[in-house]
Structure 1
Amino acid sequence: MSASEFAAKSYKTRGLVLRTHKLGEADRIISLLTPEHGLVRAVAKGVRRTSSKMGATLEPFMEIDAQLVHGRNLDVFTQAQLRHSYGLALAADYDAYMAANAMVETAERLCEGEEDAVAPQYRLLHGAIAALARGAGDPGSLLDSYLLRALSTAGWAPSFTTCVNCGEPGPHDSLNIALGGVVCRACRPPGSQSPAPETIALLAALLTGDWPVAAASEPRTRRAAATIVAGYVQWHLEKVVKSLKLVERT
């Protein structure tokens, strides 16, 4: 490939490493979420060799500056420099690590096939991963807050304060996942849930980032909210986020 051909096919981007998969004896396929190019899957050649300069950089949860070349099926990494080594801190905390896995699995589902509207999802995931890495709060609460905000950014914003059907101000004591939040007694369809008021208040706090309220919640309230969030995620993604089952709730 000539210098001009290489320049035409190469591009630079910032990105978060979501996942890695072995390829052959020494290579890996890297799933990279980028703000400009969406979800990129590219080959990192030779990174499984001990002599590789990019091996430690292209690990899950690392934020990097990368240079890639467009390929016929998969792009190819030519350079990668570390911006933030979130993976090192997360690997030392099991709860935070598992929460991060659920975050990146959700982000990958939401951004699959998208390019134009990925930048807000990138910023949201980056902030959530960074918060987990620095131990900014309970990993489960950070995860649930991220999930609610990611779905909201994708166009599925729930409501935990006003009736999703008629707009009547709350508080309301019924919730319907399919409708997207709380419902008043007049609009309550069959099959709606009746969470405790504390659970609905926590869901509202997680959605808006009211961390004093979230931090003051009791473990049973967090578990109840997590079950509702998981159901909401599954409803809209139409698939189970497998990593959510591995997140331990205290």
Structure 2
Amino acid sequence: MHNYRDEGIVLQGHKLGEADRIVTVLTRSHGLVRAVAKGVRRTKSRFGSRLEPFMLVDLQCHVGRSLDIVTQVELVEPFARGIATDFDVYSAASVMAETARSITEAEPQSRTHFLLLVSAIRSLCNREHPPRLSLDAYLLRAMSVAGWAPSLLDCAQCGSPGPHRAFSAALGGAVCTNCRPSGAALPDTDALEHMAALLSGDWEKAEAADLHDQIDGSKMVSDWVSWHLERNIRSLRVLEST
């Protein structure tokens, strides 16, 4: 028998049979874990509510053939309780969780992504910043940690000093007039400066940005994520359609 214990944040859960649930947890040291939590949907379950999405937990699992088995769960921080009461906050947290799952599903080492996600979810839970700004900051940082940091000043293709107005996810970010492809986004340069402020954690500048620049920035962040993950983040599309 092989057991392990780790800290993790619950990203997702699916029903299994009449009383069980399959949970997806991003852990500090074991990467993305998918495990069966037996009997958690019964009213008398010892740890059913602890395995809801966005809960930060200390869990013990037994290694199984295809799915691990959750044997013990201790609650560390109940983020779900503060997130579920606000639709915008819940929507942003859902996008964070889905993005984290997509980025880390093929990565055995997840410590940096885990710490980044916990920090972002905690910030959302505490209402430290507007939900969409918190989300955009997380997405930019998560993609950068994964190796896909956008160029937001100099031209991503030729290196020509910026700022430049055009932005192309396919070419790596900001692009000059000579490198600009057909169909590139043409936001105001202030929108790219807003994205740079989110990426660097300059919240005073990010929150002071014009609403139009914030909207343009969000659109470019969404395009950046979708391009490099080669898939649409479903919860992000739902958020943008509301």
Partner residue, 1:104: 97
Moved more, 103-112 or 179-188: 179-188
CA contact (8 A) 2:5 2:60 kept: yes
Give the Cα separation in 2 of the matches to 1:65 and 1:237. 29
Partner residue, 1:238: 230
Give the Cα separation in 2 of the matches to 1:144 and 1:68. 33
Deviation at 1:168, TM superposition (A): 2.5
- Mapping of 1:48-197 within 5 angstroms? 48-116=41-109, 118-197=110-189
Deviation at 1:249, TM superposition (A): 9.1
TM, length-normalised to structure 1: 0.93
Q: Which amino acid aligns with 1:159?
A: S
Aligned with residue 39 of structure 2, among 34, 37, 46: 46
CA contact (8 A) 1:145 1:206 kept: yes
Give the Cα separation in 2 of the matches to 1:138 and 1:209. 14
Q: Which amino acid aligns with 2:187?
A: P
- What per-residue deviation string (whole Å, max 9, x for no partner) do you get for residues 97-116 of structure 1? 00000000000000112113
Partner residue, 1:17: 10
Give the Cα separation in 1 of the matches to 2:73 and 2:197. 38
Deviation at 1:229, TM superposition (A): 0.8
- What per-residue deviation string (whole Å, max 9, x for no partner) do you get for residues 17-60 of structure 1? 00010011111000000121110000001111111110111110
Deviation at 1:179, TM superposition (A): 1.1
Structure 1 residues without counterparts, runs of 5 or longer = none
Deviation at 1:248, TM superposition (A): 5.7
- What per-residue deviation string (whole Å, max 9, x for no partner) do you get for residues 192-233 of structure 1? 221112211111111111111111123222211111111111
Deviation at 1:189, TM superposition (A): 2.9
Structure 2 residues without counterparts, runs of 5 or longer = none
Computed over aligned residues only, the root mean square deviation of the Cα atoms, in angstroms, reads 1.4
CA contact (8 A) 1:202 1:221 kept: yes
Secondary structure at 1:247 match in 2: helix
> What is the number of equivalent residue pairs in this alignment?
242
- Mapping of 1:211-250 within 5 angstroms? 211-247=203-239
Secondary structure at 2:129 match in 1: coil
CA contact (8 A) 2:157 2:172 kept: no
Give the Cα separation in 2 of the matches to 1:226 and 1:16. 25
Aligned with residue 190 of structure 2, among 179, 198, 201: 198
Moved more, 194-203 or 53-62: 194-203
Moved more, 234-243 or 216-225: 216-225
CA contact (8 A) 2:12 2:23 kept: yes
Secondary structure at 1:215 match in 2: helix
